[in-house]
Amino acid sequence: MSIHCHLPALIAGRAIKRQSIPELALEEFQQAIVEAVEEGWRVVSLFGSPDADGAVHLYVVLADDHGSRLYVGSTKLSNREYPSLTSRCTQVHLFERELAEQCQVKVTGHPWLKPLRFQRPIFPASHAGAVAEAWVNPSPGVMDFYEVAGAEVHEVAVGPVHAGVIEPGHFRFQCHGERIFHLEISLGYQHRGVERALLDGPNNRSIYYAQTLSGDTTIGHTTAYCQVVEALAKCQKTARAQTIRAIALELERLANHVGDLGAMSGDVGFLPTASHCGRLRGEFLNMTAALCGSRFGRGLICPGGVRFDLDATAVHGLLAKLDLCGRQTRQAVELLWNASSVMARFEEIGVVSRDIAAELGLVGPAARASGLARDARHDHPSGLFRFTHIPVSVWDSGDVFARGYLRWLEIQRSLDFIGTQLRSLPAGTISSAVGNLSPDHLAVAMVEGWRGEVCHVALTNLSGRFERYKVTDPSFHNWPGLAMAVRAGEISDFPLCNKSFSLSYCGHDL
Amino acid sequence: MTTFIGISLQAVLLTLLPPLLLGIINKTKAGFVGRRGPPVLQVYYDLLRLVKKNVVISSTTTWVFLAAPLVSVASVVLAGLMVPLGPTAAPIHFKGDLIMFAYLLALGRFFTTLAALDTGSSFEGMGAARELTFACFSEPALFLALLVLVKLSGALSLSAMLLPASHVRIGSTASAALVLIAVSLFVVLLAETSRIPVDDPNTHLELTMIHEVMVLDNSGPLLGAQIYASSVKLLILAAFLLHVVLPLKPALVGRDWGLMLVGLVAVAGIIGAVESLMARLQMRFVPTLLVAACLFSGFGFLLIL
């Protein structure tokens, strides 16, 4: 029997005692990860947390999507040294770079060990002697980029300041004419230190950090944060609160998917869908505003439930608007699929094969467009999704078209879901009391945000405060997918591929 | 007297009308997607604003960078003076001016690409490479079209060969050849003026641009000059195209000037419609489109051999 099968299991949105997490030897710990991934499990989170003596403990959260279970393991690093697993298990690539940066762990044998966010260590080693200056006091974007040599090879550097109103990130292309040999993505410009700020929480500020982890995934991240707090406080939410949360989550998905389809259309210069979807995105955001007064859903969700209730008039108004916008979205989006000039740009561009997607551990629409049926609403349901299911939409071509069409499939499912939930809104109160957090526990929350799986893990100390709070935004898993998608493609198709992934910079940079 | 009026009218149209065509294109595009859109005269306001601004010049550039916008405007206006905008002969016409016309347009392009390389930016280098690559395909299309007109009219001057082109009887072999080169010239027009499906004048994505990316470093009056130059190019290529398709008769001067003006507005409207109804081509298929234009011109030539 393999080691990973003996790890303690929990389901998303629950907490377990830290004593019940086995502390494995480092070799066993790594063996468990490799075997689990070989068996089709995924690395959902991998992070370090120092104890009182300054020794770093590693925690891993593995997901068995088919069994709907999460498994947690830990190990203790002696002397902050860690031999890299990346060459045996690609999924841990960014986690290991993050570990080296956050905890000043000396990761040896990593094929691509470079700063990830150019952040100062959250948990600096007391004996920082062995650590290079670049890791202690890093400057964003300053690192050795991968280079391709040759007479006709040229390098194109894009960003961190971009022409459009988007977030900052640096892209370094190695090209041969119009063809991309290699893309290296260097982020970190949006690093704000959220994980550090959440330490010793929760306090009055914590929820605001969660809301702004990634502005367009406010509902997703806030729900995950609240689920962690509720799991640790053993708080039972009312059915009405869970329904309103689910409605808000799907509204967020609608607004972003519709906006992205419009933006993809704009990138290929197809005006009708770009204009209509741009407007419709605003209509869906306004529906969230009708729920709570904020177009992005800030202030709607709080530990214990939600802060705004829906009365019969509001439900009626939302249903009418949902119906109207749903029909208009159908008209606008079907123009896209019927325009052969658009299909010529979408099909067979930026292909991520199923194998690559699985190896990199992609999540969300990017994974589902490559034929991987993974959706946290289905695999690791929490909140209302334990009782009501949304069919998982999957497409298999892995190209820009697949990522676009998948969004359209999900838009339709979300429209149906919101309509059904609004018509059968359970009665009751919208929030319940939240007590103190259980001391010495670990809790995991998994929420399928519009971009994919949002994972929050919290460790509490003996006084019930956050000893470590780990956030994994879906973008963290998916950025390497973008780099692979554009490989051997044309550089003029990069913006379109980028838009089809539509990843978050601040969600990655934290 | 009529010659004098014709030449004055031509000079006024050539210098003042071009930004209006861009305004009409933008208005059409706005109309297609249910927006009000910027005023038709917006491009004039933009040019006025740009002229009043200061210029920022990168320290890596040389005189070439400064010269490029001026050469662009000068060459394209000079080329415009060789194309009859109405039913009367162009202000400048001589035997063989068609070669000069084509290479004046090339001169403007040459300097713009040189200035793009002068900035040392990798974006602008890519834009310059694309512009020149695609020009290699659009130039033969233009020349084959010119060859058809030369063969039909027996003249070697644009004024002489464009005006009689209107007298071809509908249904004749020659008219079929004209239809073919009209299609070819429309594609050349879209490519040369960086419109969809070849280029997207509205995109902000440097990696996908062709013409826009080459003038990224231009600011103030220099940028204004480049915008103005490309609008003049649009006007003269549109007028060129209209001479091939419109049944102009030198006897009806007033009517024909009106017909040309309506035609120019219509061409702008059609470009706006094309931009509203289709997406851009993938970059690697742009040469395919331009080769198709060459073939259209070529078959036109074969028809009248």
SS (H, E, C) A253-302: HHHHHHHHHHHHHHHCCCHHHHHHHHHHHHHHHHHHHHHHCCCCCCCCEE
- Assigned superfamily of A194-473: Cytochrome-c3 Hydrogenase, chain B (1.10.645.10)
pLDDT surpasses 80 at A263: yes
**Strand ranges for B47-87 from DSSP E:** none
A341: chain B residues, CB-CB within 8 Å: 197, 278-281
More confident residue, B170 or B293: B293
Tokens coding A178: 């119009």
Is the separation of the CB atoms in A456 and A61 below 8 Å? Answer: no
- The residues facing A9 across adjacent strands are A71
- Burial class (CB within 10 angstroms; exposed 0-12, middle 13-18, buried 19+) of B267: buried
pLDDT surpasses 80 at A4: no
CB contact under 8 A, B278 and A275: no
Per-window interface: B 61-120 vs A, CB < 8 A: none
Tokens coding A440: 């010495």
- Residue B3 in any domain: the answer is no
- Residue B5 in any domain: the answer is no
Q: Please report, for residues A121, A201, A468, A488, the alpha-carbon distance to residue A194 in angstroms, rounded to integers and kept in the order given.
A: 13, 12, 11, 36
pLDDT surpasses 80 at B259: yes
Kindly state whether A178 is in contact with chain B, defined as any CB-CB distance less than 8 angstroms. yes
- Residue B260 in any domain: the answer is yes
How far is A430 from A308, CA to CA, in rounded Å? Answer: 8
Nearest CA in chain B to A265: B279
pLDDT at B218: 92
Kindly state whether A163 is in contact with chain B, defined as any CB-CB distance less than 8 angstroms. yes
pLDDT at A347: 92
Q: Are strands A81-83 and A106-108 parallel, antiparallel or unpaired?
A: parallel
Classify domain A3-116 by CATH number.
3.30.460.80
What is the pTM (predicted TM-score) of this model? 0.91
Number of domains within chain B: 1
Nearest CA in chain A to B199: A269
**Residue-wise over B283-294: b if at least 16 C-beta within 10 A, else e?**
beebbebbeebb
- Residue B251 in any domain: the answer is yes
pLDDT at B292: 95
Banded model confidence at residue A127, pLDDT cuts 50, 70, 90: low
Q: What is the pLDDT of residues B270-283, one digit of tens each?
A: 999 999 999 999 99
Please compute, for residue A344, the number of CA atoms within 13 A of its CA located in the half-sphere on the CB side.
Answer: 15
Is the separation of the CB atoms in B131 and B71 below 8 Å? Answer: no
Q: What is the pLDDT of residues B155-178, one digit of tens each?
A: 899 988 887 755 677 778 888 999
Q: What is the pLDDT of residues A102-111, one digit of tens each?
A: 888 888 888 8
Nearest in space to A138 (alpha carbons), one of A101, A98, A170: A101
For B240-290, give the DSSP string.
HHHHHHS---TT-HHHHHHHHHHHHHHHHHHHHHHHHH-PPPPGGGHHHHH
Banded model confidence at residue A359, pLDDT cuts 50, 70, 90: very high
Q: Which of A185-194, B134-143, B170-179 bottoms out in mean pLDDT, i.e. has the lowest?
A: B170-179
Please compute, for residue B185, the number of CA atoms within 13 A of its CA located in the half-sphere on the CB side.
Answer: 26
CB contact under 8 A, B122 and A345: no
Kindly state whether B198 is in contact with chain A, defined as any CB-CB distance less than 8 angstroms. no
How far is A479 from A462, CA to CA, in rounded Å? Answer: 36
SS (H, E, C) A198-231: HCCCCCCCHHHHHHCCCHHHHHHHHHHHHHHHHH
Q: How many other CB atoms are found less than 10 A from the CB of residue B38?
A: 14
Q: Which of A464-478, B161-175, B220-234 bottoms out in mean pLDDT, i.e. has the lowest?
A: B161-175
- In this complex, the residue of B200, B203, B283 whose CB is nearest that of residue A490 is B283
Is the separation of the CB atoms in A172 and A155 below 8 Å? Answer: yes
- Residue B161 in any domain: the answer is yes
How far is A224 from A211, CA to CA, in rounded Å? Answer: 10
- Residue B278 in any domain: the answer is yes
The average pLDDT across A121-146 equals 72
Kindly state whether B278 is in contact with chain A, defined as any CB-CB distance less than 8 angstroms. yes
pLDDT at A322: 93
Q: What is the pLDDT of residues B188-223, one digit of tens each?
A: 999 999 898 988 888 888 888 888 889 989 999 999
The average pLDDT across A48-77 equals 90
Kindly state whether B133 is in contact with chain A, defined as any CB-CB distance less than 8 angstroms. no
pLDDT at A134: 60
pLDDT at B251: 64
Looking at chain B, the whole-number percentage of residues with pLDDT higher than 90 is 64
Predicted ipTM of the assembly: 0.88
- Burial class (CB within 10 angstroms; exposed 0-12, middle 13-18, buried 19+) of B95: exposed
- Residue B123 in any domain: the answer is yes
**Helix, strand, or coil here: B136?**
helix
What one-letter code names the amino acid at B66?
A: L
Kindly state whether B36 is in contact with chain A, defined as any CB-CB distance less than 8 angstroms. no
**Helix, strand, or coil here: A47?**
strand
Instruction: Tell me the residue length of chain B.
Output: 305
pLDDT at B203: 84
Nearest CA in chain A to B130: A178
Query: pLDDT averaged over chain A?
Result: 90
Kindly state whether B283 is in contact with chain A, defined as any CB-CB distance less than 8 angstroms. yes
**Residue-wise over A318-357: b if at least 16 C-beta within 10 A, else e?**
beeebeebbebbeebbebbeebebbebbbeebbbbeeebb
Q: What is the pLDDT of residues A158-181, one digit of tens each?
A: 878 887 778 899 999 999 988 999
Range of the domain at B197: 14-304
CB contact under 8 A, B282 and A156: no
What one-letter code names the amino acid at A250?
A: E
How far is A386 from A68, CA to CA, in rounded Å? Answer: 11
pLDDT at A336: 92
pLDDT at A131: 60
How far is B10 from B30, CA to CA, in rounded Å? Answer: 30
Nearest in space to A475 (alpha carbons), one of A432, A429, A507, A498: A507
pLDDT at B167: 66
- Residue B9 in any domain: the answer is no
Q: Please report where in the chains the tokens 């069919």 appear, as a residue.
A: A391
pLDDT at A135: 67
Nearest in space to A266 (alpha carbons), one of B284, B276, B212: B276
pLDDT at A128: 53
**Cα angle: A222, vertex A101, A482; to 5 degrees:** 65
- In this complex, the residue of B33, B200, B283 whose CB is nearest that of residue A275 is B33
Nearest in space to A4 (alpha carbons), one of A68, A56, A74: A74
Q: What is the pLDDT of residues A216-249, one digit of tens each?
A: 999 999 999 999 999 999 888 899 999 999 999 9
Question: CB within 8 A of A52, min separation 6: which ones?
Answer: none
CB contact under 8 A, B276 and A342: no
**Strand ranges for A86-210 from DSSP E:** 106-108, 153-158, 170-176, 179-186
Give backbone dihedrals phi and psi of A367, rounded to 5 degrees, phi first.
Answer: -75, -45
Kindly state whether B211 is in contact with chain A, defined as any CB-CB distance less than 8 angstroms. no
